[in-house]
Structure 1
């Protein structure tokens, strides 16, 4: 249910952004609202509390966001309040990002390494992935010392594990299979 609601509202916002040619602006604004809610759980608690009236919730949104987001986004948040969908704002933001990335032909990739990769290696990997996937690649480097060395690459739902830990795990699995 939550996914369906989030998708429906994100799609409505996305289509409005397309129509008004404000896709990027709406992306920044809905992410800003979501980030504020993440950083301040008490605000989210007030927004989702059933005893707080819709008008009080709208006043809270005004005081928090009126200077930082467009009137269209504020109106969108008002609709969310009126329809009692406040608890889905973060999921709406996530799905909006997904729609935006699809529209702009962007793919998010995570490269996991034991130590930070250099700018040159990052650019080379980004260029290679861009050519291979035929999409604009946004690369994020995550440091995980437990992989010991090598690289683990995550793109969409695919994982390419070239880490030493992955190779050791694979060898251990093969050794256990040979014992039986």
Structure 2
């Protein structure tokens, strides 16, 4: 969806210039939630037979000044260009770029048992030293199958320091040796 990416890039640049990166992020994801759950908005937004001027009026009335003017102008531009269909993708591309600028990374932490914030702080420091991850956002999942240790998944990287991972690795080595 390249057009959506270009719109997101333009918003990022504008957000940086205006000092509104976070504000745009918040408004785009508020809009994203509306797209996912509000039939009234979707009936207006995806009605391709409605006149552009009428659609703009209805969109403005829908938000009732509860949306940033730049985001509203983006909506108007999408209506004018008849690119309504790409709107759901713009927040996703914006998030990718926003996270890259701020160094935010979603890190899935898989453990066998609950862990405390002290462990997450150590993981955070290790991620910074090893991979340059500034702001990890941890998603902790409990998986008793890993037996013990920890497994990290982020940015298409897997760090497996689990007992199950070690046992699987040993098993592969033994099979390889047995075949030779």
The TM-score by the shorter chain falls in which range? Answer: 0.7 to 0.9
Larger deviation: 80-89 or 48-57?
A: 48-57
1:157 and 2:156 matched: yes
Cα offset, 1:33, TM superposition: 0.8
**Alignment check: 8 A CA contact 1:105 1:136 kept:** yes
**Alignment check: 8 A CA contact 1:66 1:74 kept:** no
User: 2:99 corresponds to which residue?
Assistant: 101
User: 1:34 corresponds to which residue?
Assistant: 32
Q: Counterparts of 1:156 and 1:143 in 2: how far apart (Å)?
A: 17
Q: Counterparts of 2:178 and 2:41 in 1: how far apart (Å)?
A: 57
TM-score for both structures, normalised by structure 1: 0.79
Aligned length: 178
**Alignment check: 8 A CA contact 1:109 1:139 kept:** yes
Q: Counterparts of 1:9 and 1:77 in 2: how far apart (Å)?
A: 11
User: 2:134 corresponds to which residue?
Assistant: 136
Q: Counterparts of 2:44 and 2:75 in 1: how far apart (Å)?
A: 14
Give the counterpart of 1:13 among 3, 11, 14. Answer: 11
Q: Counterparts of 1:125 and 1:153 in 2: how far apart (Å)?
A: 9
User: Secondary structure, in 3 states, of the residue corresponding to 2:158?
Assistant: strand
Q: Structure 2 unaligned segments of length 5 or more: list them.
A: none
Distance 1:63 1:134, change over 3 A: same
Q: Structure 1 unaligned segments of length 5 or more: list them.
A: none
Q: Counterparts of 2:126 and 2:33 in 1: how far apart (Å)?
A: 32
User: Secondary structure, in 3 states, of the residue corresponding to 1:84?
Assistant: coil
Larger deviation: 6-15 or 41-50?
A: 41-50
Q: Counterparts of 2:51 and 2:169 in 1: how far apart (Å)?
A: 56
User: 2:59 corresponds to which residue?
Assistant: 61
User: Secondary structure, in 3 states, of the residue corresponding to 2:99?
Assistant: helix
Distance 1:176 1:110, change over 3 A: same
Q: Counterparts of 1:137 and 1:143 in 2: how far apart (Å)?
A: 19
User: Secondary structure, in 3 states, of the residue corresponding to 2:49?
Assistant: coil
Distance 1:51 1:102, change over 3 A: same
